[in-house]
Amino acid sequence: MKIRDNFDSLLFQEDKIGNKTLLSGMVHLLIFSLIVINTSSCCCQPPDTKQLSEKYVKNWKLFYPTEALAAGDEVSAYSFENYSLNNIREWLKFNEEIIPEITKNKYREKLSIDDQIDITLLEKKINQEIYKWKNEQVHLNSPSMYESLISQAFTHLLARPLKNRSGMKKAILTRLRGVSWLCDSAMTLLKNGPPEKTRGSVSGLNGTAEFYEKGLPVIINTYFTGLEETKNLVAEISNTVEKIRKLSSHISEKVIPGSTLTDRLGKEKYNMKLRLYTGLKIHSLKLQKIALDEIDLVREMIKKLSVEFFKSEHPGKYAGGIIPEKCIQYAFKKMESHRVENSRDFLKQFVTLINKAEKFIYSKNLTSLRDKRSLFTALSPAHFAGAAIGGVYAAGPFNPDADTLFYLPTVPDNSPLRVKDGFYRSFNNHFNTMIITHEIFPGHYLQLKEGSKNPRIVRTLFGDDLFIEGWATLCEQITLDNGWDNNNILTRLAHLRKRLENAVRAYTSVQVHCNGWEKERLLIFAKEKGLLAPQFAENLWHRVVNSPLQLTSYFLGFRQFNTQLEEGETKRGFSLQKFCDKILSSGSIPIDLLDEYL
């Protein structure tokens, strides 16, 4: 993929903040040149895939220490992101210089499927990085990038503390100082930002500042003893909080009023990013069509199953007078009525479901891969602002036996009744029973844990989202087809409703960013055509604006996996267990290589 060559002059201007000294423990200057592959020599054999992978990962860890820490690299706890112009320039140079070697390897004769997978993932990652820093220039135009990094600076350090007390103390101080420095950097560099996403960033920064001020000290003060240490910690926190609030004010007062960007990508940019993100040769027009086809198909499946459920509830009645749309309303209302109503019971329910799902998949021989469970389940931390924020945070390839974090979406128990009602109706018992197979067994948790053992770590670090979400969505179907939840019709309907939502996400992503749909039109479509639950309908606009490409991964990934499963089942000697085992142990491979890999 050709990336445009013109580079905003600001990137090469004198670095206004480059002379600031980063405090002890942080990366001062990333010496990419020491490990950049020499591309000038063409007479020798190019480095193999393993060498290229190792070199890229080594540099990636230096530039993205918070991501590396999340992947289990404890040394990265003592560093923090340094987005000075000089570092960005060096990172771009490294990515641009390594591309020729990637290309040489990609077209080598007799390249194994494993090497094809790794080289394809590397190429995709590098092109994304070049586009991000060179074309989009996120350091100048994305307040949300800074907000996301600041809000997540301590997430993995606190959830998986370093065993060494003095090491924790050093890491905490390094990251506090790193956040302060990053705020200064952002105030110097930020010039623009999409209005709605940027307003969301201001809200996120304010919430993070409050957490740093009130919540963080309670968690970390045990690592600091004595009056002097405690006094210094308070000063560091106070300084960091002040910097975060200054950055929030700067964005509100300087960036938003002068913003020239739009929250909509537009057709050209959307299609460019769609290809970069998916790795597929797909255009928004095709995505729009196949998503709409899926919406129509799944609505018919829901209609048929809802009628069946209604008849089972009213045997012998309404002969010939059943209205399918009324049956859908009846079934969904019944589904949503089965729910818990407070966070304590919500957490307890998920813990129970995890245990049941684990026993189920092994009793049904869906996989032979089994390891000691390393899973920490809890409600989302305080600094994950907003309802319905949660997810699975894998331990990563650098420490695969560490706990995977499963943070549950939540809503405060003291929220208004309307808010709580919408949340628990959406996260009803049947939805939760279905989604546990997506999130944990045999979905994200098991796939990412088994995948992290694969020695080809680029698959875990730079895995294909379509593969990850496609597999997890297929898990919903596989487990239900094998009798999960005793073939409960409402649980099957919860899956179909989720499958419909996945197609709606992809369809509205195109409509908003390419065809100018406004929020009201999206909400009407989501509720009437998409049959979305209340919480998910409310969240959809925010997700379409903030993560338009990620929203396509569920639909596109499932589509590929479902095709592979259907084709496999027609072949003599097909084994579902072997099919699942191969996928679970693969890492996360490019979705377009799935057929060849299997």
With a cut of 70, say whether residue 170 has pLDDT above it: yes
> CB-based contacts of 566: which residues, under 8 Å, 6+ apart?
none
Q: What is the DSSP string of 466-497?
A: HHHHHHHHHHHHHHHHTTGGGG-HHHHHHHHH
Confidence of residue 430 (pLDDT cuts 50, 70, 90): very high
Residue 407 pairs in a beta bridge with: 378, 391
Parse the chain into domains and list their residue ranges: 19-135, 284-597
What local confidence, expressed as pLDDT, does residue 416 receive? 96
- Residue 305 pLDDT: 98
119: pLDDT confidence band, cut at 50, 70 and 90?
very high
- Asked if pLDDT for residue 25 goes beyond 60, the answer is no
More confidently predicted of 45 and 480? 480
* CA–CA dist 292, 303 (Å, integer): 17
Q: Is the peptide bond before 442 cis (omega within 30 degrees of 0)?
A: yes
pLDDT tens digit sequence for 243-295? 999 999 999 999 999 999 999 999 999 999 999 999 999 999 999 999 999 99
Please count the other Cβ atoms lying within 10 Å of the Cβ belonging to residue 376: 14
The pLDDT of residue 390 is 80
Which DSSP letter does residue 48 get? -
Model pTM? 0.90
Looking at residue 255, its pLDDT comes to 97
Residue owning tokens 């008849």: 311
Give the per-residue pLDDT at 156.
92
pLDDT at residue 10 in the model: 32
What is the chain's percent helix, strand, coil content, to nearest 5?
A: 65, 0, 30
pLDDT at 8 over 70: no
Query: What's the pLDDT at 106?
Result: 78
Element (H, E) at 568: helix 553-569
Q: What is the pLDDT of residue 111?
A: 87
User: How far, in Å, CA of 183 to CA of 245, rounded?
Assistant: 9
pLDDT-derived band at 110 (thresholds 50, 70, 90) equals confident
Quick one: tokens of 166? 């003095």
pLDDT digits (tens, 9 = 90+) for 29-73: 343 433 333 333 344 445 689 999 999 999 999 999 999 999 999
Give the pLDDT mean for 468-478. 98
Tokens of 394: 């894998």
Mean pLDDT, residues 171-197 taken together: 97
d(CA 270, CA 284): 8
Average pLDDT of the chain, as a whole number: 90
**With 90 as the cut, is the pLDDT of residue 427 above it?**
yes
274 vs 322 pLDDT, higher one: 274
pLDDT of res. 80: 98
What pLDDT does 37 receive?
37
pLDDT of residue 23: 36
- Percent of the chain past pLDDT 70, that is, above it, reads 90
Lookup: tokens for 476? 């919903």
Predicted local confidence at residue 11, as pLDDT: 33
- Quote the pLDDT of residue 321: 79
| pLDDT for 133 | 98
pLDDT tens-digit profile of 490-530? 999 999 999 999 999 999 999 999 999 999 999 999 999 99
Place of tokens 């990934």: 557
pLDDT at 389 over 80: no
Query: Going by C-beta distance under 8 Å and a sequence separation of 6 or more, which residues neighbour residue 257?
Result: none
Q: What are 64-101's pLDDT values in tens digits?
A: 999 999 999 999 999 999 999 999 999 999 999 999 99
Mean pLDDT score, 542-558: 97
- Is the CA virtual torsion 517, 523, 527, 528 positive or negative? negative
Sign of the C-alpha dihedral, residues 273, 566, 457, 392? positive
Taking residues 385-392, report their average pLDDT: 62
pLDDT of residue 3: 30
Query: Higher-confidence residue: 23 or 569?
Result: 569
Place of tokens 């929030």: 248
